[in-house]
Amino acid sequence: MFDLQSYLEDRRGMVGRALDEAMPLETTRPAVLHRAMRYSVFAGGKRFRPILCLASAEAAGTGVEKALVPAISLEALHTYTLIHDDLPCMDDDVLRRNKPTCHVVFGEANALLAGDALLTLAFEWLGTVQAPPPYPPCQLVLELAQAAGSQGVIGGQVEDLAAEGCQPSADLVDYIHTHKTGDLIRAAVRMGVIATGGSEEVLNALSGYAANLGKAFQIADDILNATGGEKALGKPTGTDAQRKKATWVAVHGLDASRRMASDLADRALTCLSPLRGHTEPLRALARYTVERAC
Ligand code: IPE
Ligand code: IPE
Ligand code: MG
Ligand code: MG
């Protein structure tokens, strides 16, 4: 029987060690910048995107080794998005992963620059890895750049901020969730397949899995912001309603949001049915996405 808890612990350990080895030391000049980068990267995140990347490599039929650098690149880039997301000019949050946010500890300018440096570092690492055939060698860099850019995460963040205080439509929240969160989750899955040279058939099936999962992940985040406890989540709750954020819950209500997240997880699972590889971790991660308490 597959044990998700021990799988997650094992993978978190693997990702944490690889990040620790790859990141500049705290003492490296400029020390304040490297301290800020390490503070946020090692603050206790779930490592969901790197774990998903490794699990996708497993499902594509090869070992996880070749997906490890892409996996840590995803976490570096994800951490940059969180540091910037918490800044006073964005969501203005003071708590993340049960710790004061990066700008609270290091000041706004250093937090901004730590985010910039993590974004850059993600591509420095990824630039050392060539995708194997049937993919062009630069495909991993392209996947991450497209997911993170103006038509991906950043585009989603822009519309998320612009929608604050307005009455959002279902279409608008769909756009926001697909891009601010879904695109990086989709890239995590695709990069796991691409790094190991998985077939395009597997890539297409897993892209469908990831598109459903990415949206479900952000719907769960919205539900937890409305219903969860600050201690368990490690970040402030009730803030979306206070700031009139464009969330799934604001548009569809809590009950329908729960149902829709669960339907999306089911759809993600259906996308896995043609695969013959080791898909148990991906299945468990889909259920975890909508059942998690933090
Ligand atoms: C939080 O992501 C931001 C969203 C896109 C919802 P996670 O819930 O993965 O945060 P960490 O990395 O575990 O802190
Ligand atoms: C975060 O969305 C999305 C990105 C950081 C790209 P939210 O603002 O809803 O996430 P939390 O609740 O602060 O983690
Ligand atoms: Mg935000
Ligand atoms: Mg936020």
* pLDDT tens readout for residues 137-196: 999 999 999 999 999 999 999 999 999 999 999 999 999 999 999 999 999 999 999 999
Pocket of ligand 1 (CB under 6 A): 45-46, 48, 97, 181, 218, 221
Task: Pick from 221, 222, 235, 249 the residue to mutate for probing ligand 2's pocket: most ligand atoms within 8 Å of its CB.
Answer: 221
| Residues 73-91: tens digit of each pLDDT | 999 999 999 999 999 999 9
Residue with the smallest CA separation from ligand 1 atom 5 is: 181
Whole-angstrom Cα distance, residue 65 to residue 294?
A: 28
Quote the crossing angle between the two packed helices 200-227 and 170-177, to the nearest 10°: 120
> Running DSSP on this structure, what letter comes out for residue 65?
G
Give, in order, the Cα–Cα distances in Å from 194 to each of 61, 124, 151. Answer: 12, 18, 21
Task: Pick from 82, 178, 230 the residue to mutate for probing ligand 1's pocket: most ligand atoms within 8 Å of its CB.
Answer: 82
Give, in order, the Cα–Cα distances in Å from 113 to each of 23, 42, 100, 102, 164. Answer: 15, 17, 17, 11, 25
| Ligand 1 geometric centre to CA of 94 (Å) | 15
Ligand 2 atom nearest residue 180's Cα: 6
Give, in order, the Cα–Cα distances in Å from 210 to each of 46, 249, 265, 294. Answer: 17, 21, 10, 20
| Ligand 1 geometric centre to CA of 133 (Å) | 32
245 pLDDT exceeds 90? Answer: yes
What are the backbone angles phi and psi of residue 138, rounded to the nearest 5°? -90, 10
Ligand 1 atom nearest residue 46's Cα: 13
Pocket of ligand 2 (CB under 6 A): 81-82, 85, 91, 153, 157, 180-181, 221, 225, 235
Average pLDDT over all residues of the chain: 97
| Residues 82-124: tens digit of each pLDDT | 999 999 999 999 999 999 999 999 999 999 999 999 999 999 9
* Closest ligand (CA of 82): 2
| Ligand 4 geometric centre to CA of 73 (Å) | 21
Q: If pLDDT is split at 50, 70 and 90, which confidence band does 62 have?
A: confident
Q: Is 289 exposed, middle or buried (0-12, 13-18, 19+ CB in 10 A)?
A: buried
pTM: 0.98
Q: Is 32 exposed, middle or buried (0-12, 13-18, 19+ CB in 10 A)?
A: middle
Ligand 2 atom nearest residue 84's Cα: 5
61 pLDDT exceeds 90? Answer: no
Task: Pick from 221, 233, 294 the residue to mutate for probing ligand 1's pocket: most ligand atoms within 8 Å of its CB.
Answer: 221
Q: If pLDDT is split at 50, 70 and 90, which confidence band does 63 have?
A: confident
| Ligand 4 geometric centre to CA of 83 (Å) | 9
